Copies of this chain bind each other. A is one copy, B any other.
Amino acid sequence: MLQNFRVLLALPLICTAVFSGNALSAPRATAASAPLVLQAQGSFAVGGTVVRSPGTYELGKAGPDGQTLHGDHARVAYQIPVDPRKLPLVMWHGFGEFSKTWETTPDGREGFQTIFLRRRFPVYLLDQPRRGGAGRSTVAAQIAAEPDEQRWFNMFRLGAWPDFYRGVQFSKDPEALNQFFRQMVPDTGPLDNQVAVDAVSALFHRIGPGILVTHSYSGGLGWQAVMRNPAIRAVVSYEPGSGFVFPEGEVPAAMPSLTGPLAGVAVTMAQFKSLTRIPIVLYYGDNIPTQPGADPGLDNWRVRLAMAKLWVDAVNRHGGDARLVHLPDVGVRGNTHFPFSDLNNLQVADLMQAFLSEKGLD
């Protein structure tokens, strides 16, 4: 009884906070200080395989004989707001990362997970197979623990170590960089694109139609997932970096860069056509030059942005609806390789939501 009484007392506070938070914060859906009101939340594994060792399992006997290993699934954590929009957002991290990509930003603000929950989207966060909470792999692996963070500082376009790029949208508080480095995780099995795409397709089989949000390495995997599963109704891709698919005979010449050549990937016309049936938007951040230079982090993204432009052209040439937004072109400056967690990520979220709204997907 006391329990219930306390909750009743708390009610007016809840309602008032929801009300005033929204009344004050237009045009954004909700202020970060307003309560989050969820219908449900949870997590599950999806997809994957089962390996069985030959022989017979005997109680108390050591060794793998007759035993199983369930692995290669994705881990999914979801939250459903009250009064949700129809299509959920499925957020897929990039290389060396996991679901944390979309959570609290390195400097401690809300990431896309909570920002879009506040805007009433159901949000599903992925850990792809053999990464983070989906660590159980059916194939053995060695983890090197080799120091490599100055290279990532450069590749993720924070700057040229130890200097940040001028005007970069990343906090100069050393704790932000500490958190940023610590959000990386190793692969617990060989990185296998097919295994990853299988698991993500299995997720859409389970939850039905939704919008796929990809980042970097998962950009290319996202195109594969669309070719596999028509439940993906749109793709929002932040800085896709590889795996650009083109119809056979239309693959552009590989593009040399300081980090090696970037090649397109040939698929059948039928496969490619799946990418022309849904709205797609690609966002790229700042500090991406058009001419070759001496900074690998910049030159790496020079060819990726160039290839992305050819890719968007190819999709649209075949009747598709793809758009590339180079953020500085629309006046949004200083973004790193992680626009969704940069200091201006609410502005970046507004752009994404405007796109979804324009396409009738919200």
CB distance from A106 to the nearest CB of B (A): 9
Chain B min CB distance to A241 (Å): 18
Contact A178 B70 (CB under 8 A): yes
What is the CB-to-nearest-CB distance from A307 to chain B, in angstroms, rounded to a whole number? Answer: 21
Q: Is the CB of A100 within 8 A of B132?
A: no
Q: Are B137 and A143 in contact (CB under 8 A)?
A: yes
Interface residue A262 (Cβ < 8 Å from any Cβ of B): no
Task: List residues of chain B with CB within 8 A of the CB of A53.
Answer: 147
Residue A1 contacts which of B26, B38, B120, B154 (CB distance < 8 angstroms)? B26
CB contact between A104 and one of B42, B134, B143, B179 (< 8 Å): that residue: B42
Contact B151 A67 (CB under 8 A): yes
For A82, give its contact among B13, B64, B99 (CB under 8 Å). B13
Please pick, from B29, B35, B148, the residue contacting A3 in the complex, using a CB distance under 8 A.
B29
Residue A181 interfacial (CB < 8 Å):
yes
Is A39 in the interface zone, CB < 8 Å from B? yes
Query: Taking the nearest CB of chain B, how far is it from the CB of A326, in angstroms?
Result: 24
Which B residues lie within 8 Å of A73 (CB)? 182
A69 and B147 contacting across the interface, CB-CB below 8 Å: yes
Given contacts A22-B7, A132-B135, contact A69 B104 (CB under 8 A): no
Q: Counting CB contacts under 8 A, is A266 at the interface?
A: no
Point out the residues of chain B lying under 8 angstroms from A258, CB to CB: 60
CB pair A4–B22 under 8 Å, yes or no, is: yes
Determine the distance from Cα of A17 to Cα of B15 in the docked complex, in whole angstroms.
Answer: 12
Q: Chain copies in the assembly?
A: 2
Q: Which of chain B's residues have a CB closer than 8 A to the CB of A142?
A: 140-143
Known: A8-B22, A15-B15, A44-B108. A186 touches B149 (CB 8 A): no
B67 touches A148 (CB 8 A): yes
Contact flags A37-61 to B (C-beta < 8 A → 1, else 0): 1111111110010011100010110
Report how far A45 CA is from B134 CA in the complex, Å: 19
A210 CB to nearest B CB, Å: 19
| Cβ-defined partner of A4 (8 Å) among B26, B108, B154 | B26
Within 8 Å of chain B (Cβ to Cβ): is A360?
Answer: no
Across-interface contacts of A139 in B (CB, < 8 A) = 145
Is A193 an interface residue when CB atoms closer than 8 A count as contact? no
Chain B CB within 8 A of A144 CB:
yes
Q: Does A66 lie at the interface of the complex (its beta carbon under 8 Å from any beta carbon of B)? A: yes
Contact status B182-A14, CB under 8 Å: no
Of the listed residues A7, A57, A138, A185, the one surrounded by the most CB atoms of chain B closer than 10 A to its CB is: A7
The distance in angstroms between the C-alpha atoms of A181 and B51, with both chains bound, is 12
- Cβ of A36 within 8 Å of any chain B Cβ, yes or no, is yes
- From the candidates B52, B114, B138, B183, name the one contacting A42 in the complex (CB within 8 A): B114
Asked if A182 and B70 sit within 8 Å, CB to CB, the answer is: yes
Say yes or no: A69 contacts B185, CB within 8 Å: no
Tell me if A247 is interfacial: C-beta within 8 Å of chain B: no
The 10 listed contacts between A and B (C-beta, < 8 Å) are A3-B26, A14-B14, A15-B15, A52-B147, A67-B151, A68-B181, A133-B185, A136-B182, A136-B185, A142-B142
Extra inter-chain contacts (19) besides given A60-B294, A64-B147, CB under 8 Å: A3-B119, A11-B15, A13-B82, A35-B82, A36-B36, A36-B41, A37-B38, A45-B178, A48-B182, A57-B161, A59-B154, A60-B295, A64-B146, A68-B150, A69-B146, A69-B149, A70-B181, A98-B135, A143-B143
> What 3 pairs between A and B have smallest CB-CB spacing?
A135-B185, A45-B182, A42-B104
